[in-house]
């Protein structure tokens, strides 16, 4: 599971962050590409991670299970992991439905 997590992290990083930087550079143009990439970085590493950290703490806290006899605290890890998976699935569906990249015409010589 550890190796699978490391591999999955690498794939996610490549396909989200690196592709996002490349797309931002392509769309922004030469004059504002640095500012656009800075905004992309702020949105993902700043605002996105802040919201993700706050929300994940809330999700974990809501899925605590306290043993009535011993008082030991456990967590419902299945639900904890299904919630971000469902969010990622919803984002994927929204991306498929609403992202409309205009294709550039290729002119043959």
Residue positions counted in the chain: 109
The C-alpha atoms of residue 79 and residue 62 are separated, in whole angstroms, by 10
Cβ pair 73, 64 in contact under 8 A: yes
Q: Can you give the residue ranges of every domain in the chain?
A: 2-98
Output helix, strand, coil percentages for the chain, rounded to the nearest 5: 70, 5, 20
Phi, psi of 23 (to 5 degrees): -65, -40
The C-alpha atoms of residue 5 and residue 66 are separated, in whole angstroms, by 28
The predicted-structure confidence for 31-64, as pLDDT tens digits, reads as follows 898 899 999 999 988 999 999 999 999 999 999 9
- Quote the percentage of the chain above a pLDDT of 90: 41
């Amino acid at each position: 599971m550890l190796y699978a997590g490391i591999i999955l992290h690498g794939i996610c990083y490549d396909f989200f962050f690196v592709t996002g930087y490349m797309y931002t550079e392509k769309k922004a143009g030469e004059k504002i590409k640095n500012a656009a990439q800075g905004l992309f970085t702020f949105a993902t590493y700043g605002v996105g991670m802040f919201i993700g950290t706050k929300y994940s703490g809330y999700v974990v806290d809501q899925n605590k299970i306290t043993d009535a006899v011993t008082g030991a605290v456990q967590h419902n890890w299945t639900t904890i992991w299904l919630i971000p998976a469902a969010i990622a699935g919803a984002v994927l569906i929204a991306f498929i439905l609403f992202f409309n990249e205009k294709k550039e015409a290729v002119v043959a010589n």
